[in-house]
Amino acid sequence: MSELTTVARPYARAAFNYAVEQGAIENWHEMLAFAAEVAVQEDVNRFLQSAAHRDKTTEVFIGVCGEQLNEKGQNLIKVMASNDRLSALPEVARLFAELRAEYDKEVTVEVTSATELSAAEQANISAALEKRLARKVKLNCSVDPSAIGGLLVEAGDLVIDGTLRSKLARLANTLQS
């Protein structure tokens, strides 16, 4: 996975820098997301891996994507195909999305709770995190009954584990030592 990230990073950065320069970040985000979806389709992926079709790869891939790619998007596909990197498209799209979030000063926060959070609770959590992280916050909420109570908040490298499960585990660990 890290090798794929290393391969994809220069393409994502180049596409992002061009998109910023042209004021077309949303358009590029959509193009890359679409191309990444095409690349992960089983038949297309098998075709991309086939050594017998290397000379037709670019033509077929651009044909499948159709009008979803503008001229510059097609050029990116051509460059990636000529370097045998089309399989890295999903990672390019993911890295592009990260660069966009950083540029827009946004962060996606994973919030896990024991029960469903109400809209008011989500708004309070979002406001508190926006203040702490100095960024716009997008919450992805999920429910895990094994948390017993409290919240697990993950925003990039920041992890705040306030679940009762983890507090009980720490208490048990302390009592055993």
Q: Are residues 92 and 11 both part of a single domain?
A: yes
Number of domains within the chain: 2
- Please check the confidence at residue 14 and state whether its pLDDT lies above 70: yes
What's the CA dihedral at 56, 80, 78, 27 to 10 degrees?
Answer: 130
The per-residue pLDDT for 177 is 81
38: CATH: 1.10.520.20
51: confidence class by pLDDT, cuts 50, 70, 90: low
Beta-bridge partner residues of 110: 140, 154
My answer on whether 134 and 152 are in the same domain is yes
Q: Would you place residue 13 in the very low, low, confident or very high pLDDT band (cuts 50, 70, 90)?
A: very high
Which pLDDT tens digit goes with each residue over 139-157?
Answer: 999 999 999 999 999 998 8
Domain identity same for 91 and 113:
no
pLDDT number for residue 141? 96
Same domain, 93 and 123: no
Asked whether residue 148 falls in the same domain as residue 84, the answer is no
Domain end point (choices 82, 102, 122): 102
In three-state form (DSSP H/G/I as H, E/B as E, the rest C), the secondary structure along the chain is: CHHHHHHHHHHHHHHHHHHHHHCCHHHHHHHHHHHHHHHHCHHHHHHHHCHHHHHHHHHHHHHHHHHHCCHHHHHHHHHHHHCCCHHHHHHHHHHHHHHHHHHCCEEEEEEEECCCCCHHHHHHHHHHHHHHHCCEEEEEEEECHHHCCCEEEEECCEEEECCHHHHHHHHHHHHHC
Q: How far apart are CA 86 and CA 57, in angstroms?
A: 9
Residue 124 sits in the same domain as residue 153:
yes
33 with 83, same domain? yes
Average confidence score pLDDT of the chain: 89
Task: Check residue 55 and give its pLDDT.
Answer: 65
CATH classification of the domain holding 111: 3.40.30
165 and 109 inside one domain: yes
**Domain-terminating residue out of 102, 124, 148:** 102
For residue 31, pLDDT beyond 70: yes
Q: What is the pLDDT of residue 91?
A: 95
Confidence of residue 128 (pLDDT cuts 50, 70, 90): very high
Do 16 and 93 fall within a single domain? Answer: yes
Q: How far apart are CA 85 and CA 89, in angstroms?
A: 7
Per-residue pLDDT for 86 more than 90? Answer: no
Range of the domain at 43: 2-102
Boundary of a domain, candidates 81, 102, 123: 102
Per-residue confidence (pLDDT) for residue 3, from 0 to 100: 84
